[in-house]
Structure 1
Amino acid sequence: MMASLSQMNVFKGLGSVMSSVMGSVKIPGWLSLSSAPSTTFDRSYLILVIAMYMIGLVMVASSSMPVAERLFDNPFHFVIRHMIYIVLSIGIAVATLQLPMSWWQKSSGGLLLLAMVLLLIVLLIGRSVNGATRWIVLGPITIQAAEPAKLFFFCYLSAYLVRRRDEVMENFKGFLKPLVVFFFLALMLLAQPDLGTIIVMFVTTFGLLFLAGAKLWQFIGIASVGVTALSLLAIFEPYRWRRITSFLDPWQDPFGSGYQLTQSLMAYGRGEVFGQGLGNSIQKLEYLPEAHTDFVMAVLAEEFGFIGISVVLLLSFILVIKALMLGRQALAQEKFFEGYFAYAIGIWMSFQAAVNVGASAGIVPTKGLTMPLISYGGSSMIIMTIAVVVLIRIDHEIRLQSIQATSGGRK
């Protein structure tokens, strides 16, 4: 009873705390909702991100309290940290908004080098959790190096396609060069191991190369080799093979290799259409492992049902569609780097969200990927926020260019 009262109190306090946080952050003048002309900025990006922040905060609070009580003797441990991550994300977003897209293009090589350095540091001094070495610990700060590596690699790939666009479209050498870079990144990620991130980067890379005009036979040939290599990685690694076989029939070993998925499926089943109500999940009571991180969508499904899942998927779908449409608009105005970068972010977000929800629903094997802007995890939230900020900046520069062209034409 006392735990339920505590949960109710923290849920009531989340809204007021976030309101004060948002009120204390200063944003650029061109981003101000009250003063900026409506033609210079698409405010729907802000609405989408804030809505997903709030949903994620409430669900992390609901799903993490039992495990936080046991591990830290404080049911609000993960809630407080998640709120700190949101504040950090907002602060970093404000700083990133000041960077023009020309800076991203010029710095793409340096960002790629930074990504490689971070991945190398993880292998040398990274912290291991559950057999995986993926985190760099800097005092109270924990960095998952794979998250910035994705964003920085997509930035590099977008800049490469601008420099070598004709070469990519006309011969195999131009198509192969970015894949060599991806191969070295994949080797370092595989050593952690982090197959999920490799798959996300693989799909996004090939999707972007295809949109950039690579020949179909090149695309099919290399994609076939990549799929074969990923399949062999799963077959010859016992734990990966167990994940695949347990995904195909989790009820064959419900208390062993299929335990996590069966518990997740029970959560989905209990949710039905309208859910059991906020705070009424049973699976989060330490039946479902990683309930507040990789499987937060299962708890959301149990508490808010099909309606709750549909709302989150709709928000993600709108964000992805806006990114892809922005990419097309940028290419139409011959802003090729911005267009490719927006395409990459859209493909990345859509595939990662699909894998996260699909894994918790038993549609695809478990990959350990977070739900963008929803799941607990500071590195993922900050990097996803930066990705959205890049979209905002691209949109702003396109609108500003249009306004300047119109003004010049009138003069």
Structure 2
Amino acid sequence: MNMDALRWQQNSSLFYPWLALLVLGWLMVASASTGIAEDYTGNPAYFAIRHAVYLAAGITVAFATSQISMARWAKFDGLLLLAGILGLILVFVPGIGHEVNGSQRWLNLGIIKIQASELAKVGAVFYVAGYLVRREDEVKSQWSGFLKPLGILGAMVGLLLMEPDFGAVVVLLGAAMIMLFLGGVKAGQFFLLTFATIVIGVLVVGSEDYRVNRLLAYLNPWAPEHVYGTGYQLTQSLIAFGRGELFGVGFGESVQKLFYLPEAHTDFVFAIWAEETGLIGGLVALGLLGYLVACIWNIAWEAQKQGLMYASYVATGLAALLGLQIVINLGVNTGLLPTKGLTLPFFSYGGSSLMMCCAMVGIVMRVTYETELARQGNQSEQEDGNE
């Protein structure tokens, strides 16, 4: 392979925002993890070093996935879906599944633990994209075209709820619904599905006491019965935001990361960043995340204009996955949503989440590349026709 084949990625609008997010994410983890790292290992840089290794692996994964054509992805989208479902099943197998904080969400592969839902969500996106292309007429005209993919996704949702991982359910279903809507599903069907999803969501939340307690704590986290219990993380997160004010207390100077705010380097890393860099630093991070998602949406639109519908649907689904996860994580951090364990893409500590996010970026880079080739080809054909 010549070197040019490894250089075109930087021409994607994603390339530099992605690198900026990786650097910023490492800084967040390096600062937020010092207290817990020193307590667990005696080395305050332990998690920072591990995250740097994950960064290198993530960059490698991004460049590897960018070399795979969308036509090849399309051939194996069914296998990706099966792999995602298999991963969700394997988390319940003793010796393979790994429990963290009462949830059976992880696959223990020895050198790394992988969150099964990460692969499942991407597999679902590829499956729905392929389905929308293959069954376009059925999707737009018949109920069966609308219901078939929901049946398969329903099985994945059931497995996720057994773990339990309610946050992944919301992200997966949200991305699938966006893809189906843009794929031409009738408005009546879409809104009926939305209503049914809301009803099911209410029933699921009410079915477990811990979910009800989280909801009550969300509504009033400062209540005496919640402030040191279910609402503890939220109140400590809000304290971090309050301490940050406009410019923050200074990088590395957070107090909340010193065992006041649990999961400070994973689910609540943004709260620590806001404490240390203030409103200005938080807006910079939020702006970068928003810009990256907006770039992916624009790439999906450009692919559609060039007739690359499969690539467009895949990019749309990946943008939805990242966007929904960002909204939910930030909503939890700021108290706009009930507390839910969900990482912040590119920022939270964790190998599987970071590498899967980088894989998504690599896939979208490939969409950019193929869209540009298609545009040049269409332009050449138009010029030849004019002659």
Aligned twin of 1:120? 89
Residue range with higher mean Cα deviation, 159-168 or 396-405:
396-405
- The equivalences for 1:79-158 within 5 A come to 79-125=48-94, 126-158=97-129
> Would you say the 8 A contact 1:68–1:76 is kept in 2?
yes
> Would you say the 8 A contact 2:236–2:256 is kept in 1?
yes
> Would you say the 8 A contact 1:27–1:94 is kept in 2?
no
User: What's the offset of the Cα at 1:384?
Assistant: 0.7
Aligned twin of 1:30? 5
> Would you say the 8 A contact 2:37–2:46 is kept in 1?
yes
User: What's the offset of the Cα at 1:28?
Assistant: 5.0
Q: Letter of the aligned partner of 1:51 in structure 2? A: A
Tell me how far apart the structure 1 counterparts of residues 13 and 306 of structure 2 sit (CA, whole Å). 22
Q: Does 1:283 align with 2:256?
A: yes
- The equivalences for 1:161-310 within 5 A come to 161-252=132-223, 253-310=226-283
Partner secondary structure for residue 281 of structure 1: coil
User: What's the offset of the Cα at 1:297?
Assistant: 0.3
> Would you say the 8 A contact 1:41–1:396 is kept in 2?
no
User: What's the offset of the Cα at 1:97?
Assistant: 1.6
Structure 2, unaligned runs of 5 or more: none
Tell me how far apart the structure 1 counterparts of residues 364 and 233 of structure 2 sit (CA, whole Å). 35
Q: Letter of the aligned partner of 1:30 in structure 2? A: A
Residue range with higher mean Cα deviation, 257-266 or 224-233:
224-233
Aligned twin of 2:326? 353
TM-score by length of 1: 0.89
Aligned twin of 1:71? 40
Residue by residue over 1:98-133, the C-alpha shift from the partner in whole angstroms, topping out at 9 and shown as x without a partner, is 100001111100110111111111111311111101
Tell me how far apart the structure 2 counterparts of residues 360 and 28 of structure 1 sit (CA, whole Å). 43
Tell me how far apart the structure 2 counterparts of residues 368 and 281 of structure 1 sit (CA, whole Å). 22
TM-score by length of 2: 0.95
Structure 2 vs 1, CA of residues 293 and 196 (structure 1 numbering), >3 Å: closer, same or farther? Answer: same
Q: CA RMSD in A?
A: 1.6
Tell me how far apart the structure 1 counterparts of residues 180 and 66 of structure 2 sit (CA, whole Å). 27
User: What's the offset of the Cα at 1:90?
Assistant: 1.2
Aligned twin of 1:371? 344
Tell me how far apart the structure 1 counterparts of residues 10 and 242 of structure 2 sit (CA, whole Å). 42
Partner secondary structure for residue 135 of structure 1: strand
Q: Letter of the aligned partner of 1:63 in structure 2? A: A
Aligned twin of 1:7? none
User: What's the offset of the Cα at 1:410?
Assistant: 5.8
Partner secondary structure for residue 368 of structure 1: coil
> Would you say the 8 A contact 1:41–1:399 is kept in 2?
no
- The equivalences for 1:51-66 within 5 A come to 51-66=20-35
> Would you say the 8 A contact 2:61–2:362 is kept in 1?
no
Q: Letter of the aligned partner of 1:64 in structure 2? A: S
Structure 1, unaligned runs of 5 or more: 1-25
User: What's the offset of the Cα at 1:31?
Assistant: 4.2
Tell me how far apart the structure 1 counterparts of residues 276 and 14 of structure 2 sit (CA, whole Å). 27
Structure 2 vs 1, CA of residues 263 and 178 (structure 1 numbering), >3 Å: closer, same or farther? Answer: same
User: What's the offset of the Cα at 1:44?
Assistant: 3.1
> Would you say the 8 A contact 1:68–1:74 is kept in 2?
yes
Structure 2 vs 1, CA of residues 189 and 28 (structure 1 numbering), >3 Å: closer, same or farther? Answer: farther
> Would you say the 8 A contact 2:88–2:117 is kept in 1?
yes
Residue 45 of structure 1, aligned match among 6, 14, 34: 14
User: What's the offset of the Cα at 1:409?
Assistant: 5.8
Q: Letter of the aligned partner of 1:235 in structure 2? A: G
User: What's the offset of the Cα at 1:30?
Assistant: 3.5
Question: How many residues are treated as equivalent by the alignment?
Answer: 380
> Would you say the 8 A contact 1:41–1:395 is kept in 2?
no
Residue by residue over 1:316-366, the C-alpha shift from the partner in whole angstroms, topping out at 9 and shown as x without a partner, is 111111111111221122211111111111111111101101101000012
